């Protein structure tokens, strides 16, 4: 298949590009290095410096003999998107090209505006470029479980049946996001749903939970192919942060009471899920929503697991509850359905002790590069 990956330089975009190219697909990765710029601006550089996208594609080709096409450009620019879609005519587009950090979006007006403009414009351009240049193309959009928030009822897989005064209908499940970043994903879903209804585009919206890990079959071939692994308070997700904190010998930063529960998944499962969505496309005129995670954990449970394994490895891990910089429920009901991807064939890689130990061992190799000044939260919600 011809697959366009938007945000191809990112934590998920680059491993996805490698994984699909390794399987023989014709892959084109587009990125404008926005995240690298924002990371530099906020002193939040990744643990392991990674070569630019052109260089990474060159290294990947030298190692595997497979090509990844690269376009450096902005997906929020419709002229560029028209050219890319017009020339490449993808069968599927995997849209990761969004500002992915909740804390970044809460820093102030400039960062909020940048998040809103980038994320909404990129999604809007994808929809129009598909309609004009590749009408049969399947849009695979990375959404987030955070769109649903933490309601006091079960979270369904995208849709909910509502009965009211003796009549019933099916609606998008109510969304109530906890950051401006997460809110842009809600708005993306609404945009997609509008064009699905009116113009018959085919869309899979993946409601993904926080991802962890840095090892994938292709990344393991050469360390220059590793994904951008962040452990800072702005771009690092909680599991990757706790693993790095354990290695650095600083206390694990549990925000508040630590009862915040989310659905987590291994980076390798993101690769599986996206491929499963791609090989089992949504129908024209369908907005298919899949909840993309494999296990539920509270923050305290993650900290406990990292500590148990880290201690066995002699790291002497400490856990500390610090004031929560975010506005979020710290103790709440959470039960989210996630059968869609399992039915498509997902074989989960669970967070076993061996997996945690493997990640810790990997990070230990880069211990000297950890900057502990990047660990404590610098952004508050209020």
Distance CA 250, CA 242 (A): 9
The residue within the footprint of ligand USQ, chosen from 7, 158, 209, 340 (CB under 6 A), is 209
Residue 253 sits in the site that holds ligand USQ (CB under 6 A): yes
Q: Are 83 and 75 in contact (CB under 8 A)?
A: no
Q: Please say which residue, 254 or 277, places its beta carbon nearer to ligand USQ.
A: 254
Q: Return the residue of 95, 138, 141, 326 that touches ligand USQ, per CB under 6 A.
A: 326
Does 273 sit near ligand USQ (CB under 6 A)? no
Closest CB 87 distance from ligand USQ, rounded Å: 29
Query: If DSSP codes are grouped into helix, strand and coil, which group holds residue 198?
Result: helix
CA angle (362 as vertex; 360, 364 as ends), nearest 5: 70
Please give the size of the binding site for ligand USQ, defined by CB under 6 A: 21
- Binding-site member from 119, 125, 184, 237 for ligand USQ (CB under 6 A): 237
- Candidate list 4, 214, 238, 363; residue touching ligand USQ; CB under 6 A: 238
Q: 337 catalytic, yes or no?
A: no
Site track 2-31 with ligand USQ (rule: CB under 6 A), x = hit:
------------------------------
The pair of structure tokens assigned to 55 is 């260089």
Q: Collapsing DSSP states into helix, strand and coil, what is residue 349? A: coil
* Residue 174 to residues 171, 205, 334, Cα–Cα distance (Å): 8, 15, 15
The piece of 44-52, 99-107, 153-161, 359-367 that touches ligand USQ (CB under 6 A) is 99-107
Distance CA 368, CA 186 (A): 39
Check if 327 is active-site: no
Active site residue 144: yes
Compute CA 342 distance to the chain's CA centroid, rounded to the nearest angstrom.
19
In angstroms, the CA 149 to CA 303 distance is 22
User: Which residues of 66-150 form beta strands (DSSP E)?
Assistant: 68-72, 92-95, 138-144
User: Which residues are known catalytic residues?
Assistant: 144, 181, 185
Which residues make up the interface to ligand USQ (CB under 6 A)? Answer: 100-102, 144-146, 182, 208-210, 237-238, 241, 253-255, 260, 262, 299, 326, 328
């Amino acid at each position: 298949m011809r697959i366009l990956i938007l945000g191809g330089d990112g934590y998920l975009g680059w491993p996805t590009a490698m994984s699909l190219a390794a399987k023989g697909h014709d892959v084109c990765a587009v990125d404008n290095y926005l995240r690298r710029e924002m990371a530099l601006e906020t002193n939040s550089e990744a643990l392991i410096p990674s070569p630019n996208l052109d260089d990474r594609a060159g290294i990947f080709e030298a190692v595997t003999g497979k090509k990844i096409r690269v376009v450096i450009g902005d997906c929020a620019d419709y002229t560029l998107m028209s050219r890319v879609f017009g020339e490449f005519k993808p069968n599927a587009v995997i849209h990761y090209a969004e500002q992915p950090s909740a804390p970044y979006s809460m820093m102030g007006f400039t960062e909020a505006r940048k998040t809103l403009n980038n994320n909404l414009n990129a999604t809007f351009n994808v929809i129009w470029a598909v309609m004009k240049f590749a009408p049969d193309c399947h849009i695979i959009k990375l959404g987030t479980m955070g769109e649903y928030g933490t309601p006091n009822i079960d979270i369904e897989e995208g849709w909910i049946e509502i009965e009211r005064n003796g009549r019933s209908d099916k609606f998008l499940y109510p969304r109530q996001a906890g950051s401006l970043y997460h809110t842009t994903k809600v708005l993306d879903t609404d945009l997609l749903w509008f064009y699905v209804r009116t113009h018959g585009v085919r869309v899979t919206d993946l409601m993904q939970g926080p991802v962890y890990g840095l090892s994938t079959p292709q990344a393991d071939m050469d360390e220059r192919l590793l994904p951008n692994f962040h452990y800072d308070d702005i771009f690092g997700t909680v599991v990757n942060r706790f693993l790095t904190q354990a290695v650095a010998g600083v206390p694990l930063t549990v925000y508040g009471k630590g009862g915040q529960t989310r659905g987590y998944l291994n980076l390798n499962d993101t690769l599986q899920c996206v491929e499963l969505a791609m090989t089992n496309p949504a129908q024209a005129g369908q907005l298919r929503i899949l909840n993309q995670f494999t296990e539920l954990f509270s923050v305290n449970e993650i900290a406990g697991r990292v500590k148990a394994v880290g201690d066995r490895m002699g790291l002497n891990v400490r856990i500390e509850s610090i004031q929560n910089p975010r506005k979020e429920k710290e103790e709440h009901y959470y039960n989210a359905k996630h059968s869609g991807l399992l039915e498509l064939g997902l074989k989960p890689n669970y967070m076993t002790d061996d997996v945690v130990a493997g990640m810790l061992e990997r990070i230990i190799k880069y211990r000297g590069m950890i900057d502990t000044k990047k660990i404590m939260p610098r952004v508050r919600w209020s």
